[in-house]
């Protein structure tokens, strides 16, 4: 079992920045792909960014490319999401997740990000 705890969400004005953190416990996640997802009210959950265990490969949704950066610190069992140039449409609950055997199995409780215009 893996427990994930997100932090760093909050209220920010458009154009501002936030840094989300996701700390894992229970077992090391250094060998796992990790991802950030978000879900806005009335919308389906969508992937925002993913990072492989070696951090050699990353993926970003088109809507956040050039503004968000995913990174990981395997020594701290933590993954981060740096969000710059935030837009009102980035408002959502953000979740981190850990993949095992090719699918995301463990999820955090989510952290709210609200971007005001």
Q: Which of 113, 90, 96, 75 is nearest to 22 (CA)?
A: 96
For 18, other C-beta atoms within 10 Å of its C-beta total: 21
Q: CA of 77: how far to CAs of 20, 26, 32, 72, 107, in Å?
A: 14, 10, 10, 8, 14
Report the alpha-carbon distance of residue 83 to residue 67 in Å, rounded: 6
pLDDT value, residue 111: 97
* pLDDT in the model for residue 101: 84
Backbone conformation region of residue 30, classed left if phi is above 0, alpha if psi is from -120 to 50, else beta: alpha
Distance CA 34, CA 98 (A): 5
The pLDDT, as a whole number, for residue 29 is 84
The tens-digit pLDDT sequence of the chain (117 residues) is 899 999 999 999 999 999 999 999 988 888 899 999 999 999 999 999 999 887 678 899 999 999 999 999 989 999 999 999 999 999 999 999 999 888 999 999 999 999 999
CB 72 within 8 A of CB 84: no
The pLDDT, as a whole number, for residue 96 is 97
pLDDT value of position 69: 97
């Amino acid at each position: 079992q893996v427990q994930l705890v997100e932090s760093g969400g909050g209220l920010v004005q458009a154009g501002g920045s936030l840094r989300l953190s996701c700390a894992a416990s229970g077992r090391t996640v250094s060998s796992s792909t990790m991802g950030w997802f978000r879900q806005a009210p009335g919308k389906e959950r969508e992937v925002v960014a993913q990072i492989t265990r070696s951090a050699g490969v990353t993926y970003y949704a088109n809507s956040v490319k050039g503004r968000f950066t995913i990174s990981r610190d395997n020594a701290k069992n933590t993954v981060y999401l740096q969000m710059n140039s935030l837009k009102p449409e980035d408002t959502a609950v953000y979740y981190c997740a850990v993949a095992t055997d090719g699918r995301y199995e463990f999820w955090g409780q989510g952290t709210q990000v609200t971007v005001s215009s």
